Amino acid sequence: DGRGVRMRACLSAPRVPRTARRLQSSPPRTTARTRARAMAAEPERRFVTDFFPTFVGGDEGRPGDRPLDDARVRSATEDALLILNYHLPSVTPHVWGLVHARRCVCADGGANRLYDELPTLLAARDARDVHDDDFDAFASAVRDAHVPRAIVGDLDSVRPEVLAFYQNRGCETVDLSHDQDTTDLHKAVTWLERQDEKRNRRRRILVTGALGGRFDHEMSHLSCLHAFSELEIVLVGRTSTARLIPKGLTTIVCDTNAEGPTCGLFPLLGPATVSTTGLRWNLHGQTLTFGTLISTSNRIECAEETEGTEALRTDDAARVE
């Protein structure tokens, strides 16, 4: 019906609306009553993906001007945008609009991507016919209006002229080159976490440019999800999103106009026992393990309930392109 779809993790199986999908995580070989008691003492954790643009109207299949009001359930969580050094997905301008500039951070060479690619993405989003002789002025205005709060990392990838441009406009520079044991993503998330601790808050972190590049980089990004499993982090690429589904109660709200219909569940840290509803091919207490069974090329349909241990979930996000 074009509305957002909700996935929620819980240990019991109450009746839920048709637009809800429930996801539950629990350790194997325990009774439902034991799991329910354990979950009752834990706060609900919500991973909400409501940052994709949804439009109605327009001509010839092009996006219209009015967002679909009921297309998604907005999260009450403050968001932070973290830009990595890989091609920005087309959704980046929309995410920037949801995240105040003071909550945008570039991880080292991510500043180059923001400087080089955001003007082109904005021109494409707004269907602007910017001629070559006018594009420089347009790009300059875009860059002046989109200054990140900080550039964090080794600072060995950001170009000197890009670094100077943002510094001259008040952007903070955080040189962590003394730490050669962690990636720029890890450094930037650590910095954001410490900023939040000072203000007694916790923000969801949307990481653009996190998927679609070198495989070793993608694997390090997935490792980072586990290193910061207590945080809400969503990896965003040009055609996919990925997030960690921890043990416990998790709610995921999807905008089906922009995400899916394909999705998957992967057990990265060992076997995960999972039950689902709301997928085309549901799991009923099966154990996901690499080398035997994983849930790939599955499809989001309606209400879902999932029970299992910690897993990684991915979505097809191709329709935002």
Q: What is the mean pLDDT of residues 265-278?
A: 80
Q: Is 18 left (phi over 0), alpha (psi -120 to 50) or beta?
A: alpha
How buried is 196 (Cβ within 10 angstroms: 0-12 exposed, 13-18 middle, 19+ buried)? middle
Average pLDDT over residues 85-109: 85
- Cis previous bond, 261, omega within 30: yes
Cβ neighbour number for residue 91 with a 10 Å cutoff: 23
Tell me how far apart the alpha carbons of residues 59 and 29 are, in angstroms, rounded to a whole number. Answer: 55
- H/E run at residue 92: helix 92-98
Q: What integer is the mean pLDDT of 15-31?
A: 37
What does the pLDDT look like over 155-178, one tens digit per residue?
Answer: 999 999 999 999 999 999 999 988
Q: Structure pTM? A: 0.71
Q: Which of 32-46, 84-98, 184-198, 227-241 shows the lowest per-residue confidence on average (mean pLDDT)?
A: 32-46
Q: For the chain, give the percent of residues with pLDDT over 70.
A: 63
Residue (of 69, 30, 20, 57) closest to 309 by Cα position: 30
Give the per-residue pLDDT at 152.
95
Residue 131's pLDDT is 60
Set out the domains of the chain in order of their start, with CATH numbers. 1-11+24-53+249-321 (2.60.120), 78-231 (3.40.50.10240)
pLDDT category at 298 given cuts 50, 70, 90 is: confident
Q: Hey, which residues does 173 pair with through a beta bridge?
A: 151
pLDDT at 198: 82
Average pLDDT over residues 92-113: 86
Residue 239's pLDDT is 82
Can you give the pLDDT at residue 263?
83
pLDDT for 118: 92
Distance CA 228, CA 186 (A): 9
Strand 240-245 vs strand 233-237: parallel, antiparallel, or unpaired?
A: antiparallel
